[in-house]
Amino acid sequence: MTNSNGPDEIAIQVEGLVKRFGEQTAVDHVDLAVPTGSVFGLLGPNGAGKTTIVRMLSTLLRPDGGRALVAGVDVMQHPAAVRRVIGLTGQFAAVDETLSGYENVYMIGRLLDMPAKDARRRAEELLLAFGLAEDARKPAKQYSGGMRRRLDLAASLVGRPKVLFLDEPTTGLDPARRNDLWEIVRDLSQNGTTVLLTTQYMEEAEALAQDIAVMDRGSFIARGTAEELKVRIAGRTIRLRPAAAADLPVLRDVLLEVLGVADDAAPGTLSGPVSEDARVAALLRAAAAKDIAIADISTVTASLDEVFLTLTENKTEKTEAR
Amino acid sequence: MTAITSSITPSNLSSHTGFRDTMRHTGALIRRNLLSTKATPEELLDVTFFPIIMTVMFTYVFGGGLKATTGGNYIEYLIPGIFVQMLSFGSIGVGIKLNSDFDKGLMDRFRSLPIARTSVLTAHLVSSVLRLLLASLITFAVATCLGFRVHTNVGEFFGGIALLLALGFGVSWLSLYVGTVVRSPQAVQGVLQIALFPLMFCSSIFTAVDTMPGWLQAFAKVNPLTTAADSARAMMVGGQFGLGNSAWVTLAWALGMSVVFAPLALRAYNRHV
């Protein structure tokens, strides 16, 4: 936190960020550091405060406390400088529907002080890259939902932003269109653009983000890679099926003794949480000691959906006691 | 603060946007507004078709009855008033446009760009005046077809149009203010129509003020639409329609509205979330 020069540059640095709307605290002392060129996923339900964070970082909303640096520039002190290095794609495609796709992108180029010729070339280049070249001259209101999103994204990339904010970029898109957009985001990230993405879909966070923060009611309730979150928070589950059904009650006692929990996963199969590898070994030793023949054994890592549910149902205390 | 500087810090931290830049940004946004109007010409109905309907309706339906109290030639009385009606109601459109920019999230895009925030507002205002100018041309053409003739000199006529555009400018600021503070484009239309309809009918636009009951006359005489219609009449038709101080009063109204509503609109606009 003292030095962000060098290869591990921090593109977005947030410390103790607060935003209140009247009595309600929409964002409550959030800390965040996103390395340059990475994708950071902000995951949470509606109203968690994701959009509020994005709006503060993109200078649309003034924070009530804390500070935020985007590409090393303070968003409160130098909002105009921040605007020169960011791109924003909001929840709704922010395009002028009466204008053609080309005119929409061209206008942004002109607003970014590009000479007319450069703005024209950049617009054509982006529309081509996003598969909109053929419909470039059609009014945007004739575009499909996926095309509008791509146009919106193209508009936010005109100025080759160093930091790109994507606020629920795929909400309402069908899976094929969503995958197209994911590809674009991956490309951008590979080319050094830092992306902060908000989403309600764990799948999306998992597919794109190196780092994920799970948000609920204005605070981060967990963070890490998708893998870490899955293992750490919802944990892994072991499933055991004894060869003889008669061994089931004995196995249940073993599970209760070693893991403290014995759930009926399926007929003839028991399951329990195993947060550490050592527990698996301990469990198998205990079963062997009671002469239980195990026919089938498997461990399952929770899906990110389960992690999400666990967390947002405020069961964090339980898992932290682990 | 200083500890976290990085090599990708933009060299220019200035929040100042130069005058030439702002002019260019405003130009790009005016272009956008014009392209948008070109793509949706139905938006111009309120400044084209509406005045035509009012002109035809009042001339042929009420004209016969109103002739006696308005100087004998109703169309000469009516047309300058129609200009006033068109220029005031035509200003509603700019507030609706601004409001839809907020409504559709476009404003977020503009505000996340390194441009002066006011250039969006300025561009809408200029587009509004251009729209009103176009509407004036159409109204004039239709009026000429219906037998309206200008009896004053070119200077007076264009002076009259300029005065009405000044009033349109003032009403446009009101419209921009309403467009920033109400929730939906429909609400902008509703609020402004409620405000403008009584002003339109309780004025000298369609009929002479001295035919109204005394209490209404008091209102009608200070109504900016009355003074605007009176000045337009004097500057386009002249003769029996004297100018008096109506032009100055109208100009004062136009300035007054701009002075009051421009800062209100700017403040509300800058605070808009």
Q: pLDDT value at position B16?
A: 63
CA distance A97 to A36: 34
Residue type, B46: D
Say which of B4, B10, B111 has its CB closest to residue A60: B111
The residues with which A197 forms a beta bridge, in sequence order, are A41, A166
Among A211, A230, A249, identify where a domain stops.
Answer: A230
Question: Which residues of chain B are within 8 Å of residue A162 when distances are taken between CB atoms?
Answer: 8
Three-class DSSP category at A188: helix
Q: Is residue A2 part of a domain?
A: no
Give A246-291 pLDDT, tens digit per residue. Answer: 899 999 999 898 888 888 888 889 988 887 777 888 888 998 898 8
Q: Give yes or no: residues A274 and A253 share one domain.
A: yes
Is a pLDDT exceeding 60 seen at residue A315?
Answer: no
Q: Do A115 and A189 lie in a common domain?
A: yes
Tokens of B30: 């005016």
Q: Contact at 8 Å (CB) between A57 and A75? A: yes
Instruction: Tell me the H-state helices in chain A.
Output: 50-57, 79-83, 101-111, 116-129, 145-157, 175-190, 202-208, 226-229, 248-258, 277-289, 304-312, 316-320
**Is residue A306 a part of any domain in this protein?**
no
For chain B, what's the residue count? 273
User: Chain A: nearest CA to B102, how far in angstroms?
Assistant: 10
- What is the layout of strands, in order, in the sheet containing A194-199? A86-89, A163-167, A194-199, A39-43, A211-216, A219-224
Cβ partners under 8 Å of residue A132, min gap 6: A101, A147, A150, A151, A154
For residue A1, being part of any structural domain is answered with no
Q: Residue A168 in 3-state DSSP?
A: coil
Residue A111: per-residue pLDDT: 94
Identify whether residues A263 and A220 lie together within a single domain: no
Asked whether the beta carbons of B7 and A9 are under 8 A apart, the reply is yes
How do beta strands A39-43 and A194-199 pair?
A: parallel
Q: Cα B175 to the chain's mean position, in Å?
A: 8
| pLDDT value for A117 | 96
Looking at the structure, tell me whether residues A153 and A295 fall in a common domain.
Answer: no
- Which residues of chain A have a CB within 8 Å of the CB of B35? 98-99, 103
| Residue A113 and residue A149 share a domain | yes
Identify whether residues A129 and A220 lie together within a single domain. yes
Mean pLDDT (whole number) for B38-52: 85
Mutate to test the interface with B, among A13, A113, A148 (most CBs of B within 10 A): A113
Q: Has residue B5 got a pLDDT over 50?
A: no
Determine, for residues A81 and B111 on separate chains, whether the beta-carbon distance falls below 8 Å. no
Q: Quick one: pLDDT band at residue A318, thresholds 50, 70, 90?
A: very low
**A-chain residue closest to B11, CA distance:** A81
The answer to whether B113 contacts A83, with C-beta atoms less than 8 Å apart, is yes
Domain match, A258 and A135 both: no
Per-window interface: A 121-140 vs B, CB < 8 A: 139
Is residue A5 very low, low, confident or very high in pLDDT (cuts 50, 70, 90)? Answer: very low
Residue B209 φ/ψ, nearest 5 degrees: -65, -35
The answer as to whether A201 is a domain residue is yes
Q: CATH number, domain at A189?
A: 3.40.50.300
Which residues of A fall within a CB distance of 8 Å from B108?
A: 55, 60, 88, 90, 94
Residues A268, A224 share a domain: no
CB contact under 8 A, B10 and A85: yes
Residue A175 has pLDDT above 60, yes or no: yes
Q: How many angstroms separate the CA atoms of A96 and B97, rounded?
A: 11
Please indicate, yes or no, if residue A79 is contained in any of the structural domains: yes
Compute CA B181 distance to the chain's CA centroid, rounded to the nearest angstrom.
Answer: 18
Angle, alpha carbons B164-B228-B174 (nearest 5°): 65
Q: A229 near A306, Cβ under 8 Å?
A: no
Contact B9 A71 (CB under 8 A): yes
Mean pLDDT for chain A?
87
Residue A9's pLDDT band (cuts 50, 70, 90): confident
Model pLDDT, residue B4:
40
Total structural domains within chain A: 2
A60 and A34, same domain (yes or no) = yes
Packing angle between helix B185-201 and helix B74-89, nearest 10 degrees? 150
Residue B215: Cβ-neighbour burial (10 angstroms; 0-12, 13-18, 19+) = exposed
What does the block give as tokens for B270?
């800058």
Tell me, yes or no, whether A76 and A44 share the same domain: yes
Would residue A322 count as lying in a domain? Answer: no
* pTM of the complete model: 0.80
> CA-to-CA distance for B241 and B120, rounded, in angstroms?
40
Residue A14 CB partners (closer than 8 Å, separation 6+): A30, A31, A32, A33, A53, A57, A66, A67, A68, A69
Q: Is A106 domain-assigned?
A: yes
Determine the structural domain holding residue A280 and report its residue range. 236-301
Co-location of A279 and A204 in the same domain: no
Q: Secondary structure of chain A: what % helix, strand, coil (to 5)?
A: 40, 30, 30
Residues 6+ apart with CB under 8 A from A131: A150, A180
Nearest to A180 by CA among A132, A134, A140, A137: A132
Task: Tell me the pLDDT tens digit for each residue of A205-240.
Answer: 989 999 999 998 899 988 898 888 877 776 778 889
pLDDT at B11 over 60: no
Interface residue A279 vs chain B (CB under 8 A): no
pLDDT (0 to 100) of residue B59: 87
- Which tokens hold the place of B236? 């386009």
Q: Which residues of B touch A1 (CB under 8 A)?
A: 3-4
End-of-domain residue from the set A230, A257, A277: A230
- A268: domain CATH number is 3.30.70.2030
ipTM of the complex: 0.83
Percentage with pLDDT > 70 across chain A: 93
Task: Name which of A310, A312, A317 is nearest A231 in CA terms.
Answer: A310
A72 and B6: CB-CB below 8 Å? yes
Same-domain status, A252 and A150: no
Work out the average pLDDT over B207-215: 89
Contact call for residues A167 and A51 (beta carbons, < 8 A): yes
Is A131 a domain residue? Answer: yes
Pairwise CA distance, residues A319 & A138, whole Å: 54
Please give the Cα distance from A248 to B107 (Å, whole number). 64
Q: Is the pLDDT of residue B31 over 90?
A: yes
